Chain A
Amino acid sequence: MEKENPFKLFVPPRLSAGQPSAVRTQGFNKCPGDDFKLPFRTLNRGEVADSATMSQQVKLCSEVDEEFENEKLHLKLEDELCEKKDLLKENTASRHLCNLLKETCTHFTEKTSKYEQEREETRQLYEELHSNIERMTVAFEELRGQAENDRLEMSFKLKEEAEKMEKLKRDCKLEVSQKEEQISALIIQSDEKDDVIRDIKAQLQESQNKIADLIEEKREMLKESQVNQEHLRAELKEAKTSLEKAEVTQKSLENEFQTTVKTLIQVTEEKEAQEEECKKTKALHAALTAEFETSIANLKSLLQKEQNRLEKCEDESKLLTLELRNKSAELEEMTKLKCDKEMQVEELSGTLEKIEGLLLKKEHLEATVESLQEREEETKNVLQMREKEIHDLKAQLTSTAEKEQDYLNQLLTLKTDLEQEMLKNEQLTVCINKLSLEKEQIAQEKSDVAAELKKLQESHKDSKKNEENTKQLVENLEEANDQLRNELESLKEKMAKTGEEIESKLDEREENMNNLKKQVENKTKCIEELQQENKVLKKKITAESKKTSIYEGKVNKLQLELENMNKQHKETVDSYQKDIETKKVNENKLHEEVEKLKLLYDEATMIQRETDIRCQHKIKEMVALMEKHKHEYDKMVEEKDAELKLYKIKQQEQLSSERSLESELSRLKSELSSLKEQLKEEIEEKENLVKKHSQNRVPETEMEHKTYVIKTPPVHTLQGERSTTLPPEQSTRKKQKVLLHLDTHSDSSEHSDLLSMVSEEKMFKKLYQDYPQASQLYSTAPKKTPTLSSVKSPGSALKLKAMRKMHEAGWAAVSKVDRRRKIKEVAKFFA
């Protein structure tokens, strides 16, 4: 039993968290049981003896050991059995626990499921709550908003109503104030009307005065306008007279122009006749020139032929001279003759040089002719310029004429305007008369109204005086009443005072009192009567006030009428003033225009005068130029006549030289023939001289010298003859027939005339370059060469005569042409 005590089963509590470690504690409790058994068995060992005892002991020991081991094993087995039992119990307990755990688990799962359900439900509830809460919040907010809106609306409505109330109050106040103001204004207006009545009366007087002044001013203005009209009329008359004068001057100028034109036309006609005559002469000269040209051509051909012949002869002579030169070693005499010939050739060359000098002189003369021509061109240009100036002046004259016409037109328009304005003035005067009559009527009405007003004023004054008198009477009566009252009081006092003192006098005093009473009654009656009179007077005053009101109404009407009339007057006055101003402006414009026209007219007259003066000056200048040109032309003509003379002289000299040359040519030809014969003879002689040189030289020289004897007629005689012939013929310029008496018989050669003739030709060429008319007359024949052919002396003289006629006719034609041109220019200038 004691062995079982230490065995304690540790049973853990069921619901608590199992601690499996508590099972292990049972093993420790088993240990003390072993200790009791061991010491019991150990005691038994001591009692056995030694030997047998030893074997026995050993046996016993082994038996003991075995028993011990058996016991140990028993113990172990018991222990293990116990342990197993314990374990089984534990298992059962654990199983119980496990079952409990299972149950708990199942319970727990159930609870968890419940919990989850409840959780879900709670979530749903929460969500519902949330939604409900949100709805509630939204609803509350809506309510709040609605409340605010309602509040605001209410406030606005209240404010509006308050504002309306205030407006109404203000309006009422304003109306009240306006009414009060109106009342005050009406009071003021009533006072102002009284003042206005007074002012209107004063204005009436002033307006009357002004109307009188305006009427006077209008009369004065009318007078002034009439005076201005008269002045303008006078100015118009003056302008007309000036215009007439200008027209007269224009007519005179035109007549003068026409006369000048006629004269110019006549001059042109004369000059045209002269031109025709010149043309005829030109035709004649042309024919003559044609004839001369044919002769000249013939002469030229002859000259050319002779020149050719001369050339041929020269060639032959050269050949012969060459032959002679080849043979000259022995022919010294021939060389001397050749020297002589060379000398002659030199002389001829000298003559050629002189001719060349004359040609140069001709060139110089031609240059001078060119210069003269240039001068003539310049003079022509001057004439053209002057013609242009004349054209310009004519244009200016035309423009001035046009301007004058324009001015006439303007004057006509101005006349019409003036007439129109005159009509307007007349109409305005009529209107002014009408208005003056109306004004007089209005003045009369005003005077009547003024008289009525005065009467009203007097009546008003009388009424006022009556009022004042009545007022004074009333005041006096009142004062009398007061005085009487005072007296009554004094009397009463006296009566009261003296009543007690004097009783005896009561009767008298009663009588006195009665008398006084009667007096008082009378006075009261009088007072009543006066009061009645006062009432009557007041009634009268009211009536009169009514009358005054009526009169005031009338006065107002009259004032209105006056105002209207004044306005009308002002309007009419303004209109008249405007008309007057417009008239003044028009008058000023007309004055200005008249002044402008005057200035323009003056300018036009000045321009006319200037143009006249210019025309006259230019005419004078032209005349002077014409005279100068005439003088110049005369001079030129004289010069050219002199030149012609010179040229004629030179031509004569050249002709003489030509003749001389021709003669020389003939002589040379004869000489050549002679030379040829001589050459032949000499050739024959040479043949003989080849044999005999020195014997033939001497006679040849003598022969040659003889053959070349030149006989020259006296040149002076020719020149004198020429000079004698020319001067009496210079007096007649036109169609001069110069007869040159020359000694045709002089066959002698003339030295010095070849070159002069040549130079004359050149000068003639130069002089007649610019005049194609004269070119026909120009004789190309006298192209003289030192070698001239044989000239037929009588025909040549006639031809020379014709040539000179042509020269002078050409000069005359030239002068005519120049004069014609200048006259045409003058005609254009004057036309």
Chain B
Amino acid sequence: MAEAEPQEENCENSIETMEKCNKDLETLLEEMERITVRAAWMTYGIVTIHTNPDLASSMKHLEDAFLRCKEQVGRKWQEVLKESKGEEE
């Protein structure tokens, strides 16, 4: 009998602990949900950031401009030289 009482008390404690566990589990679930949402948002943000074409396009523009400048600068002097040579001739 004495075993029954603590058992009953254990049962009650277990129930309580079970209820506590349920509640904790629920809270945890909610947190997990939040975390998953955040993770989804993070992934979305990362994707958007990583897949942003502006950078690439701007980089391409930069490259194009750089190349044009290079060409121009190179051409300028080449043409000047050619013209000078042509004039001299």
Contact = CB atoms under 8 A, between A and B. Distances in A.
Contacts of B18: 87, 91
A144 interface: yes
Given A112-B38, A119-B45, A165-B87, A88 B14 contact: yes
B21 A91 contact: yes
A105 B35 CA distance: 7
Nearest to A151: B76
Nearest to A115: B42
A409 to B, nearest CB: 92
A129 B59 CA distance: 9
B54 interface: yes
Given A98-B25, A155-B79, A133 B87 contact: no
Given A94-B21, A109-B35, A133 B72 contact: no
Contacts of A105: 28, 31-32, 35
A136 B65 contact: yes
Contacts of A119: 42, 45-46, 49
Which of the four size classes fits the interface of chain A? 35 or more
A276 interface: no
A147 B58 contact: no
Interface in A96-122: 98, 101-102, 105, 108-109, 112, 115-116, 119, 122
Contact of A84 (B10, B72, B73, B79): B10
Nearest to B42: A115
A130 interface: yes
Contact of B14 (A87, A123, A141, A147): A87
A133 B59 contact: yes
Contact of A108 (B35, B54, B84): B35
Contact of A151 (B25, B49, B61, B72): B72
B46 to A, nearest CB: 8
A123 B83 contact: no
B65 A137 contact: yes
Contact of B58 (A95, A123, A134): A134
A112 B28 contact: no
A162 interface: yes
Contacts of B21: 91, 94-95, 98
Contacts of B68: 140-141, 144
Interface in B20-60: 21, 24-25, 28, 31-32, 35, 38-39, 42, 45-46, 49, 52, 54-55, 58-59
Contacts of A88: 14, 17
A480 to B, nearest CB: 62
Nearest to B86: A162
A453 B10 CA distance: 170
Query: Counting chain A CB atoms within 10 Å of each CB, which of B18, B21, B65 scores highest?
Result: B65
B62 A137 contact: yes
A165 B7 CA distance: 120
B25 A147 contact: no
Interface string A68-94: 000000000000010010011001001
A406 interface: no
A141 B65 contact: yes
A119 B31 CA distance: 22
Contact of B39 (A112, A144, A155): A112
B53 to A, nearest CB: 12
A126 interface: yes
B28 A98 contact: yes
A140 B35 contact: no
B2 interface: no
Which of the four size classes fits the interface of chain B? 35 or more
B1 interface: no
Contact of B76 (A98, A123, A150): A150
Given A94-B21, A95-B21, A140 B84 contact: no
B12 to A, nearest CB: 12
Contacts of B7: 81
A133 B11 CA distance: 70
A781 to B, nearest CB: 151
B28 A154 contact: no
A143 interface: yes
A91 to B, nearest CB: 5
Contacts of A155: 79-80, 83
A141 B68 CA distance: 8
Nearest to A109: B35
Nearest to A101: B28
A162 B7 CA distance: 115
Contacts of B62: 133, 136-137, 140
B69 A147 contact: yes
Query: Counting chain A CB atoms within 10 Å of each CB, which of B11, B17, B76 scores highest?
Result: B76
Contact of B72 (A130, A147, A158): A147
A165 B72 CA distance: 28
Interface string A664-696: 000000000000000000000000000000000
Given A112-B39, A126-B55, A130-B55, A84 B14 contact: yes
A158 B83 CA distance: 8
Contacts of A84: 10-11, 14
Contacts of B54: 126, 130
Contact of B65 (A101, A108, A109, A140): A140
B81 to A, nearest CB: 11
Contacts of A143: 69, 72-73
A492 B87 CA distance: 68
Contacts of B42: 112, 115-116, 119
Nearest to A147: B72
A143 B72 CA distance: 9
Contact of A158 (B59, B66, B87): B87
B10 A95 contact: no
Across the A-B interface, give the 5 residue pairs with the lowest CB-CB distance, nearest first.
Answer: A140-B65, A147-B72, A133-B58, A151-B76, A137-B65
Given A91-B18, A151-B79, A165-B87, 20 more contacts: A84-B14, A87-B18, A91-B17, A98-B25, A101-B28, A101-B32, A108-B35, A108-B38, A108-B39, A109-B35, A126-B54, A133-B58, A136-B66, A140-B62, A144-B68, A148-B72, A150-B76, A154-B76, A155-B79, A158-B87
Interface of B: 7, 10-11, 14, 17-18, 21, 24-25, 28, 31-32, 35, 38-39, 42, 45-46, 49, 52, 54-55, 58-59, 61-62, 65-66, 68-69, 72-73, 75-76, 79-80, 83-84, 87
27 contacts: A87-B18, A91-B14, A91-B17, A91-B21, A98-B21, A102-B28, A109-B35, A112-B39, A116-B42, A119-B46, A119-B49, A126-B52, A126-B54, A133-B55, A133-B59, A137-B65, A140-B68, A143-B69, A144-B72, A148-B72, A148-B76, A151-B72, A151-B75, A151-B79, A154-B80, A155-B80, A155-B83
Interface of A: 81, 84, 87-88, 91, 94-95, 98, 101-102, 105, 108-109, 112, 115-116, 119, 122-123, 126, 129-130, 133-134, 136-137, 140-141, 143-144, 147-148, 150-151, 154-155, 158, 161-162, 165
